[in-house]
Amino acid sequence: MKANQNEQPNGVKEIARRAKVSIATVDRVIHNRSGVSAKTRTRIEKIIQELNYQPNIIASRLASRKVLNFAILIPSVSAETAFWAAPLAGIQQAEDEIRQMGIKVDRYFFDLNSKASFVKQTKQILKSKIDGILLAPSFIEESIAFTDALKEKNIPYVFINSDIPNRESLCYIGPDLFHSGYLSAHVINYCIQPRDKILVVNVSHEIENHHHLLRKEEGFRSYFKDNEKRIVKIDIRQTNDRSVEKKVAEALEETPNIKAIFVTNSRVANVAHYLENKGKKGMLLVGYDFLPENIAYLQKSVIDFLICQKPQEQGYRGIMALYQHLVMAAPVEKVSFMPIDIITRENHAYYKN
C-alpha cells in the first residue's frame, strides 16, 4: 500500500509535523507524561485542540501490550444466593467482549453470611495488582474501609446492586429499591379491592443490616400511606421452609381478609411453597427476582408477579463502566438505575435477565 495516500489526516504524525517535534513527544503530551518543556507542551496541546484529535483506541491497544486487570468482588453463588449467578454471567459476557482489548477479570467471592470472608477478600485484592474493581458493597462499614484503601491507591471502583452514596465511586449500577417497592404496591393495588388487606413479608437472617429490604418496604408503604391499616407486616429471620410456613400461617389466621402477599426479596418461593401446599387459591403473590424456583411458581400461577432488575445487565454494565473509564477515557454516568421489570407467567420466557 502506498504511503501518504489515504493516511489518517489527524493522527499523531500530523500533530508532530505541525508542532515540529517527534511523535514520541506528542505521545508524552497526549498521555500527560512528564519530560516535556512547558512551551512545547502548550504548542502541542493547541494543535491537538485545533485538529480535534481523537486517538485511535484500536491502534493504541495493539501497540501497548499492557494488560489491564479488573477485579470483581461479589457474593458467591449458593442455593440461598442464586441471584448472583446472573451478575456473574453478565461479567463473563463483558469479559468475552473486551478480552481482545487486553482486559482480564479476576474473580473474588465472599460469603454473604460472613463479614470476615468479605474482609479477607478485600485484603487479597489490595495485595494484587489491579486497575479497577467492581464490587457489591453488602457490608457497609467494611466496604467503606476497603474503598478508602482503593482511593489511596487511585484505583477506581464501581458499586453494583446496592449503593453507598457519597463514596466517590466511579458509578453505581443497580436498582432504585424504594421505587421498586412503590411499583409493587401499584401493581397489587390494581388487582385487589379497597377493603382487602396486604401482608408484607421480609425473609432474611439479618434484617437489621439489610437496608435494601427495608428500603423496598418503605417504598411499598409510601404508596399506601393514606391507608396504612391495610398493611400487615412480618419479619422472618429463620429462612427455612418450616419457619416461613408457620409465620405466614399465623399471620393469615390473625388477620382475615388478606388478599395479597408482598415478599420483599427472592424468598417469595418459600411463601409460594406454603400456599401451594395448603391449596390456598386466590391469594395474589408478588415477590422478587428471576430465579428458576420462582419462575416455576410463576408458571403454576402460584406467584403472580415477579419484580426483576436485570441482574445480568448489572454485571455487564459494571465491567463496561470500568472499561469506558480506563480504556476509552470516556465519561461514565454516576448513577445508572436498572429498569423495574414486571414479570408474569406470560412474558417471563422473553425476559433476558
Contact of 48 with 30, CB cutoff 8 Å: yes
Which among 14-22, 104-112, 142-150, 186-194 is the span making contact with a second copy, rule CB under 8 A?
186-194
- Among 101, 126, 164, 283, the residue binding a second copy under the rule CB under 8 A is 101
Q: What's the min distance (Å) between Cβ of 320 and DNA?
A: 20
Per this entry, what is the length of the chain?
353
Q: How far apart are CA 334 and CA 339, in angstroms?
A: 16
Any contact of residue 337 with a second copy (CB under 8 A)?
yes
Part in contact with a second copy (CB under 8 A); list of ranges 78-86, 124-132, 237-245, 333-341: 333-341
**94 lies in the site for a second copy, by CB under 8 A:** no
Check binding of 346 to a second copy (CB under 8 A): yes
Q: Which does 316 bind (CB under 5 to 8 A by kind): a second copy, DNA, none?
A: none
The answer to the question of residue 222 lying near a second copy (CB under 8 A) is no
Site for a second copy, residues 263 to 322, rule: CB under 8 A: 304
Angle (nearest 5°) at CA 99 between 58 and 105: 130
**Measured from the CB atom, is 231 or 236 closer to a second copy?**
231
List the grid coordinates of 146: 476497603
Report the distance separating Cα 231 and Cα 21, nearest Å: 74
Task: Provide the minimum distance between the beta carbon of 319 and DNA in the complex, in angstroms, as a whole number.
Answer: 22
Which amino acid, 263? V
CB nearer to DNA: pick between 20 and 127: 20
Half-sphere exposure for 275 (CA within 13 Å, toward CB): 25
Cβ proximity of 95 and 106 under 8 Å? no
Closest CA to 52 of 14, 17, 24, 4: 14
**Among residues 2 and 281, whose Cβ is nearest to DNA?**
2
- Find which of a second copy, DNA, none residue 11 binds, CB within 5 to 8 Å per kind: DNA
Give 75 or 87: the residue with its C-beta nearer to a second copy: 87
As a whole number of angstroms, the longest Cα–Cα distance in the chain is 86
Q: In the complex, which residues of this chain contact DNA (CB under 7 A)?
A: 1-4, 7-8, 11-13, 20-25, 27-28, 30-31, 34-41, 53, 55-56, 59-60, 62-66
Question: Of 284, 296, 261, which is closest to residue 82 (Cα–Cα)?
Answer: 296
Q: Which residues of 224-250 are buried (b: 16+ CB within 10 A; e: fewer)?
A: beeeeebbbeebbeeeeeeebbebbee
Sign of torsion, CA 81 83 87 89? positive
What are the residues whose beta carbons fall under 8 Å from the beta carbon of 157, sequence distance 6 or more? 132, 133, 134, 135, 147, 150, 169, 170
State how far the Cα of 163 lies from the Cα of 151, in Å rounded to an integer.
17
Q: How far is the CB of 171 from DNA (least distance, A)?
A: 24
Of these partners, a second copy, DNA, none, which one is at the site of residue 25 (CB under 5 to 8 Å by kind)?
DNA
Q: Of 58, 116, 296, 335, which one interacts with a second copy (CB under 8 A)?
A: 58
323 binds a second copy (CB under 8 A): no
CA distance 311 to 294: 15
Judged by beta carbon distances under 5 to 8 A according to partner kind, the member of DNA, a second copy, none in contact with residue 347 is a second copy
Contact set with a second copy (CB under 8 A) = 1, 6, 56-59, 61-62, 65, 100-101, 176, 179, 182-183, 186-187, 190-191, 304, 337-342, 344-347, 349-352
